[in-house]
Chain A
Amino acid sequence: MIRTIGRTILGVVVLTLIFGIAYPVVMTGIAQVAFSDTANGSLIRVNGTTVGSKLAAQGFTGAGYFHERPSATVPAYNAMGTTFSNLGPTSDALRTQVRDQIAAVMKAEGPYNPGLRVGDIPVDAVTTSGSGIDPDISPAYARLQARRVAAVRHLSLSTVEQLISRYTDGRFIGLFGEPGVNVLELNLALDRIGH
């Protein structure tokens, strides 16, 4: 029996070395050589400074920028502590969250969209994302924000909408997933234009 246990421990150690150490180390080696950009987090650099990751929201608030979806992380858009809101579909907390977000969107976009109604606000603008760092917004929410960004930056609406289209990631082979507008890439493109 002692011998059997000893042999089993030996087996466990060997399996740990192969699947716990060798497998991830070899995969990292290949990944760092073949796909160094994505393997390190799809970081975006501007003038040598890392300004963020293509795959993480960072909490834009400026009037001249597109804003991301609400985030349930603490603090918001915390890429070290992703989380769901876990608010049940009938909870009062969810009701309050949605009401507050509607008010925030009306306040931010209302002045630039005369006659804006609650029914014009897309649902992703008032709901937290799954990760808390959803880098995308729906094309509908981007178009809602386009007038504000264009006005603040003194750009034509069509210029801004062209940029939205350029930074919209479509479905895989036109079928799988949903289109999303990458907010960081879009905002960086706006900054490159100036104003």
Chain B
Amino acid sequence: MTANGIAQILLYAVILTALAYPLGIYMARVYEGTISFVNGPLARVERLFLRLVGSDPEHEQNWKGYAGSVLLFTIVFTVLLYLLLRSQGHLPLNPDNLPGVSAPIALNTTASFVSNTNWQYYGGEYTMSYLSQMAGLAVQNFVSAAAGMAVLAAVIRGFARRNTSEIGNFWRDLYRSLVYILLPLSVVLALVLVWQGVPQTFSGHAVAHTVQGVTQQIARGPVASQVAIKQLGTNGGGWYNSNSAVPFENPNGFTNLLECVAILLIPMAQVFMFGRMIGRMRQAWALWGAMFVLMAAGVAIAYPAEQHGSAVLRDSGVNIAAGSQQSGGNMQDKEVRFGIADTALWATVTTDASNGSVNGGHDAFTPLGGSVPLANIFFGEVIWGGVGSGLYGMFFYVLITVFIAGLMVGRTPEYLGKKIEAREIKIAAVGALFVPTMVLVLTGISVVTHAGLASMYNSGAHGFSEALYAYTSQSNNNGSAFAGYGGLPFAANLGSVALYLGRFVPLLAGLAVGGSLAAKKTHPESAGTFRTDGATFAILLVAIIVLTAGLMVFPALTLGPIVEGLS
């Protein structure tokens, strides 16, 4: 590790938090409608949109109505997106004359994008027409992110309100997430990215006659507009196959910083938004602290592991020492302009969030370095997590922690003045444990079937890691990969199952908890209330997360990265 590398990482954390705090306050005011312009002339546009989609602007929904709207919205988008991908060969905006996408890939891609995952079984630049990228995939980058954000706003209302069944209006929350949060941020980020070198054009690929006389074709397109939202919406699906490792998506150290900040900006802001909406910022800081500790632990493992290099590189005798002339370390599948520190940081934050974009190849990471993204995702995408889904996922662990703490001190568990009873704990347990259980089952299926074994690219322990990573990533809606893994149609179809269940079981559990809490009355805190706004609670929360999710993934890790690291 170098002093510069450590300084980059620390300053990144400072910049991120400094931007996320005010954004969180702003977002709370947008959802609450207490910011002036939301109620000004722009309110008419919002009401027009709500009437168009058949939603009464004066009416809020209970949790079941809200969930129904989310599901219907997703089903309609699923059908339309699948049809678009299948028929892109007959549709306009296809300058490179790409054919329709095959059925298993179209199905998996549809599941992947409507679930805010962006797992990619295809290479973007040679599979998807401009129309599919824009009107299909890029739209999902916005709306699947906004749907998650809307659900979170509703769940938080459940904590903040009392004696009511109403937790918000889905279409209004969706509209505000899109128009007042995601769109303005995307416009600004996209323009900065173009300025720095990311293409934004509707002309097809460029043709160059190289210095040594070869013809080189260079894929282009409206890239910057998509990269901006894929980072901000924790989507992660790149225009290019190698994602943000490609210079056209991420040309230099400045864009790398911006994109890396964009990955965690909204998920972190939502923690502060929560504090604002419940009127207790100290509660938010406790969650911030727990998430920050887990994130820092990931970077502190991945960075030195990658800098230390792989056994193959060390044995080869080449120079892997960091210095002023090179960043050294495990440079396999990494880019010179990012080096080790920025690639290890990105790998950690993209899997803390359910983003999944990469600026280097995770498959080629060292065994220890590669187990950080895997473990991060397995924790259920709650270390900041996806936009919306991260924090409502964290609430499951918060409730379980409150419950266990209550058992330890012999009191009725309470959180934010709400009594936590059997119903909430049961739902929270499903929300927290369903996905990791599904990961283990699906990975198990994939390693005892011929088709599953044929989907691995590397053999032995690393092949197992690839399969484990594939189902962990899709079930938790991350989208990054040990990218050698893939097999049609088996792996694509098994993945589609993981993508849908992984998205909607926790989402419905979150709304159910929100609805349940909204109906309760709020008790004033007393001297005997277990405090949930201090370091003690944050430490306990970290311990519960590590124990529940960590112990589930550890046996699987021993079969993959740990065997590999010892061999």
Contacts and interface: CB of A to CB of B under 8 A. Distances in A.
Interface in A140-187: 140-141, 143, 169, 171-172, 175-178, 180, 184, 187
Interface in A10-24: 10-12, 14-16, 19-21, 23-24
B370 interface: yes
Given A80-B217, A123-B326, A134-B335, A86 B210 contact: no
A42 interface: yes
Interface string A46-83: 00011111111011111001000100100001011111
B554 interface: no
Contacts of B412: none
B216 A77 contact: yes
B168 to A, nearest CB: 17
A38 B248 CA distance: 9
B529 interface: no
B254 interface: yes
B187 A27 contact: yes
Contacts of B358: 130
Contact of B325 (A7, A72, A143): A143
Given A31-B224, A51-B211, A88-B364, A177 B253 contact: yes
Interface in B139-187: 139, 142-143, 171, 178, 183, 186-187
Interface residues of B, number: 122
B337 A41 contact: no
A70 to B, nearest CB: 10
Interface stretch (B47-55, B267-275, B392-400, B539-547): B47-55
A10 B241 contact: no
Given A15-B178, A21-B135, A35 B195 contact: yes
Contacts of A177: 252-254, 256-257, 337-339, 342
Interface of A: 3-5, 7-12, 14-16, 19-21, 23-24, 27-28, 30-32, 34-35, 38-43, 49-56, 58-62, 65, 69, 72, 77, 79-91, 94-95, 98-99, 102, 118-141, 143, 169, 171-172, 175-178, 180, 184, 187-188, 191
Closest 3 CB pairs of A and B: A177-B253, A130-B245, A84-B361
Interface of B: 4, 7-8, 11, 49, 52-55, 72-73, 76-77, 80, 123, 125-126, 134-136, 138-139, 142-143, 171, 178, 183, 186-187, 190-191, 194-203, 205-212, 214, 216-220, 222, 224-226, 240-242, 245-248, 251-254, 256-257, 309-313, 316-320, 323-339, 341-343, 358-361, 363-367, 370, 457-458, 461-462, 465, 482-484, 564, 567
